[in-house]
Amino acid sequence: MNKLLYILLFQLILPAVVAQSKAADDLVRTLTVRVKENWQVPPVIELNGDQSIEIKFDYLDLNVHYFYYKITHCDASWKPTDISESEFLNGFNNQPIEIHKTSFNTYENYTNYQFTIPNDNLKVRLSGNYQVTIYDNDNPETVIATARFSVYERLVNVGATINTITDIDYNRGHQQLDLQIDTRNYTIRTPQMEMKVVVNQNSRTDNQALLTIPTITQGSNLLFTHVRDLIFEAGNEFRRFEMVSYRYNGLNVEQIKHINPYFHAFLYRDKIKTFSTYVYDQDQDGRCFIRNSEAQDFDNESDYFVTHFSLASDAPIGNGKLYILGEFNGFKIDPAWEMEYDIDQRAYTKKISLKQGAYNYQYIFVPDGQQKGTTALTDGNFYETENEYTVRVFHRPIGGRYDRLVGYGLFKSTK
């Protein structure tokens, strides 16, 4: 098919910048921020709806800590607003995390903590971006982790067309979006001053597009067509592996070995796919799922394996740095996930402790002096790739005090 077309109309909302939660303490591992009971969608819930955000993390200590969390209302760029707590919250801030479970039958000792928002003690009153700050009550000034989620209202409709015939190339290495925002049920008087539209591919932020001025206005429809910033590298399907047992090697795992004191998972050496033929693989758009085939409670019975990544390369890839990227590190280019080139192995290598489960990942190369990564030199760019695109519309009218999240669309390119 010469054209990838996937048009949907939604009435949802997301943040202007994709939420990137992170651990600030080295003892915090496997921080996840998700819609409860739906791990394959972004952490976004409807204002006054029936869904909730579930936040989980492990702390590498069997001693139970009295962790608390505080919610802050943020603008589209995740900066705190001057909205008072009484305006954006029902209930009281600074709540204790009451659910915790110590690890059972694992080599790595930890305690799993979890809580949901909203809950009986706290509910949000406004749409927008929210940052959750997690801290130890014995040391309130020290943040151990931050989690981010968004709350939407159903106000505007968003449509998108995804094409592989782009303004750069024809059915080769890019995908291009055209957008339509229907404001018939909601007034945005001067879009170029009041509205921001942010488009993200697979939850990445380094290559996101920020738009403010429609190319065409047709009545209540705001159109963004032939916009250079809406052309994305097509990339490739995410690489995958599974380490769900001590007893056998999972998908793309060459060896499971106990090296005192932990188990190690050695992944098969990856190859550069730049000049390969595209092969479809049903991935999860970078997400991961914690699982242990021998456990009943995945949260506190899954162990940590030292996971060994490697990407074969006869020489370093240009002038720049190579990173591993996926939901496990917030889809962000993170120095903790930078790979090092091993001249003896003729490969980039990285080892890091991960909790048992099924993982998606990709390799991102960032040239020196740039912040935007590319898959061209590692995974390749193929127009057939299935990608997830999120379109976020938010609005702050002139004189408004906060960014109201008024529209969201989730689209997938299909073969």
Q: What is the mean pLDDT of residues 266-271?
A: 98
- At residue 321 the predicted structure's pLDDT band, cuts being 50, 70 and 90, is very high
Q: What is the mean pLDDT of residues 350-377?
A: 97
Q: What is the mean pLDDT of residues 411-415?
A: 84
Q: What is the pLDDT of residue 16?
A: 36
- At residue 91 the predicted structure's pLDDT band, cuts being 50, 70 and 90, is very high
- At residue 3 the predicted structure's pLDDT band, cuts being 50, 70 and 90, is very low
Q: What is the mean pLDDT of residues 19-27?
A: 71
Q: Is the pLDDT of residue 149 over 90?
A: yes
Q: Is the pLDDT of residue 396 over 80?
A: yes
Q: What is the pLDDT of residue 408?
A: 87
Q: What is the mean pLDDT of residues 29-45?
A: 92
Q: Is the pLDDT of residue 18 over 70?
A: no
Q: Is the pLDDT of residue 324 over 60?
A: yes
> What's the pLDDT tens digit per position in 368-392?
999 999 999 999 999 999 999 999 8
Q: What is the pLDDT of residue 20?
A: 62
> What's the pLDDT tens digit per position in 57-69?
999 999 999 999 9
Percent of residues, the chain, with pLDDT higher than 70: 94
Q: Is the pLDDT of residue 229 over 80?
A: yes
Q: What is the mean pLDDT of residues 140-165?
A: 93
Between CA 168 and CA 170 the distance in angstroms is 7
- Which residue ranges form the domains of the chain, and what is each CATH number? 22-152 (2.60.40), 157-234+386-412 (2.60.40.10), 239-367 (2.60.40)
Q: What is the pLDDT of residue 24?
A: 65
Q: Is the pLDDT of residue 6 over 60?
A: no
Q: What is the mean pLDDT of residues 238-242?
A: 98
Q: What is the mean pLDDT of residues 7-16?
A: 34
**What tokens were used for 240?**
């995958």
- At residue 412 the predicted structure's pLDDT band, cuts being 50, 70 and 90, is very high
Quick one: three-class SS letters along the chain?
CCCCCCCCCECCCCCCCCCCCEECCCCEEEEEEEECCECCCCCEEECCCCCCEEEEEEECCCCCCCEEEEEEEECCCCCECCCCHHHHEEECCCEECCEEEECCCCCCCCEEEEEEECECCEEECCCEEEEEEEEECCEEEEEEEEEEEEEECCCCEEEEEEECECCCCECCCEEEEEEEEECCCCCCCCHHHHEEEEEEECCCCCCCEEECCCCEEECCEEEECCCHHHEEECCCCCEEEEECCCCCCCCCEEEEEEECCEEEEEECCECCCCCCCCCCCCCCCCCCEECCCCCCCHHHHCCEEEEEEEEECCCCCCCEEEEEECHHHCCCCCHHHECEEECCCCEEEEEEEEECEEEEEEEEEEECCCCCCECCCCCCCCCCCCCEEEEEEEECCCCCCCCEEEEEEEEECCC
Q: What is the mean pLDDT of residues 322-336?
A: 94
Nearest alpha-carbon partner for 406 in 121, 90, 191: 191
- At residue 5 the predicted structure's pLDDT band, cuts being 50, 70 and 90, is very low
